[in-house]
Amino acid sequence: MRIRRIGRWDGEARVFRGVRITWDRGTWGEGGYSAKFTIGFAPRFFRFRRELFGWMLTVFGVRLHYLWSYGGRFAD
């Protein structure tokens, strides 16, 4: 498990990225995957978006974003 403090504004996505946590599950080539969870702040009250390999939830400005990848590791 790797934890990174990001601390920067993404003007294109309109979100302040705070913390990123990445980890690996299982064994590569045998059904394992890489996962990423980020916590950020966005100027919205509520939003939920389902993605092909993840989801994003914003409640009262706090954005939670979870992704997983079967094809490779997420960068730290």
The reported pLDDT for the residue numbered 34 is 86
Triad 35, 62, 68: Cα angle to 5°: 10
Cα gap 36→41, rounded to integer Å: 17
| Segment 62-72, tens digit of pLDDT | 999 999 887 66
User: Cβ distance 54 to 65 under 8 Å?
Assistant: yes
| Segment 25-47, tens digit of pLDDT | 877 667 778 899 999 999 999 99
The reported pLDDT for the residue numbered 76 is 53
What token pair was written down for 25? Answer: 């599950």
pTM over 0.85: no
